[in-house]
Amino acid sequence: MRNLSMMTDYYQLSMMKGYLESGVHEDEVVFDLFFRKNPFHNSFTIVAGMESLIDYINGLSFTEDDLKYLASVGFDKVFLEHLRAFRFTGDIWGVAEGTIMFPHEPVIRVKASIFQAQLIETALLNIINFQSLIATKAARICEAAQGDPVFEFGLRRAQGPDAGIYGARAAYIGGCVSTSNVLAGKLYGIPVVGTHAHSWVQKFETELDAFRAYASSYPENCLLLVDTFNTIESGIPNAITVFRELQEKGFKPKGIRIDSGDIAYLSKVARRMLDDAGFPNTAIVASSDLDEDTIDSLKVQGAMITHWGVGTNLITSSNWPALGGVYKLAAAAESGALVPKIKISDNPEKITNPGLKKVTRIYDESGLFALADLIMLADETIDTSEPLTIFHPIYTWKTKTFRRYSLRELLEPLYLNGKLVYERRTVQEVRANVRRELDGLWPEYKRLQRPQIYKVDLSKKLWDLKHQMMLAHKE
Q: Kindly report, residue by residue over 91-109, the tens digit of the pLDDT.
A: 999 999 999 999 999 999 9
Q: Kindly report, residue by residue over 415-472, the tens digit of the pLDDT.
A: 999 999 999 999 999 999 999 999 999 999 999 999 999 999 999 999 999 999 999 9
Judge if 303 and 327 occupy the same domain. Answer: no
- The DSSP call for residue 192 is B
> What is the largest distance, in Å, between two alpha-carbon atoms of the chain?
87
> Is the CB of residue 176 less than 8 Å from the CB of residue 330?
no
The closest of 33, 29, 28, 56 to 359, measured between CA atoms, is 33
Of 315, 343, 370, which closes a domain? 315
Residues contacting 219, CB < 8 A, separation 6+? 246, 249, 251
The b-or-e profile of 47-75 (16+ CB within 10 A means b, else e) is: bbbbbbbbebbeebebeeebbeebeeeeb
- The DSSP call for residue 137 is H
Q: Kindly report, residue by residue over 360-410, the tens digit of the pLDDT.
A: 999 999 999 999 999 999 999 999 999 999 999 989 999 999 999 999 999
Judge if 272 and 220 occupy the same domain. Answer: yes
- State what percent of residues in the chain have pLDDT above 70: 100
User: What is the four-CA torsion angle of 101, 415, 161, 38, rounded to 10 degrees?
Assistant: 10
Output the domain CATH number for residue 331.
3.20.140.10
Query: CA torsion sign, 188 to 92 to 161 to 69?
Result: negative
Mean pLDDT computed over 347-354:
93
Mean pLDDT computed over 69-91:
97
Judge if 142 and 199 occupy the same domain. Answer: yes
Judge if 334 and 214 occupy the same domain. Answer: no
The closest of 337, 343, 312, 328 to 473, measured between CA atoms, is 343
> Is the CB of residue 390 less than 8 Å from the CB of residue 456?
no
Judge if 106 and 196 occupy the same domain. Answer: no
E-assigned strand segments in 259-369: 283-286, 307-310, 325-334, 337-340, 357-364
- The DSSP call for residue 451 is P
Judge if 99 and 203 occupy the same domain. Answer: no
- Could you give the strand order of the β-sheet that contains 456-458, starting from the edge strand earlier in sequence? 405-409, 357-364, 370-377, 456-458
Judge if 40 and 100 occupy the same domain. Answer: yes
Q: Answer yes or no: is 107 within a domain.
A: yes
Judge if 60 and 161 occupy the same domain. Answer: no
Residue 474, pLDDT > 80, answer no
Cα–Cα dist 17/79, whole Å: 6
Q: Kindly report, residue by residue over 159-208, the tens digit of the pLDDT.
A: 999 999 999 999 999 999 999 999 999 999 999 999 999 999 999 999 99
- The DSSP call for residue 40 is G
pTM, whole model, 2 decimals?
A: 0.96
Predicted confidence at residue 475, as pLDDT, reads: 64
Cα–Cα dist 68/52, whole Å: 27
Determine the angle formed by the axes of helices 121-145 and 292-300, rounding to 10 degrees: 10
Judge if 143 and 176 occupy the same domain. Answer: yes
Distances (CA, A) of 328 to 117, 366, 471: 11, 35, 20
The b-or-e profile of 164-188 (16+ CB within 10 A means b, else e) is: bbbbbbbbbbbbbbbbbbeebbeeb
* Greater pLDDT, 447 or 2: 447
Mean pLDDT computed over 315-327:
97
> Is the CB of residue 38 less than 8 Å from the CB of residue 121?
no
| Segments forming the whole domain that contains residue 351 | 10-134+320-355+410-452
Predicted confidence at residue 47, as pLDDT, reads: 98
Q: Answer yes or no: is 163 within a domain.
A: yes
Reduced to 3 states, what is the DSSP secondary structure of residue 125?
helix
The closest of 136, 126, 108, 145 to 44, measured between CA atoms, is 136
Q: Answer yes or no: is 17 within a domain.
A: yes
The closest of 116, 109, 122 to 27, measured between CA atoms, is 116
The closest of 388, 364, 355, 386 to 374, measured between CA atoms, is 388
Cα–Cα dist 211/167, whole Å: 32
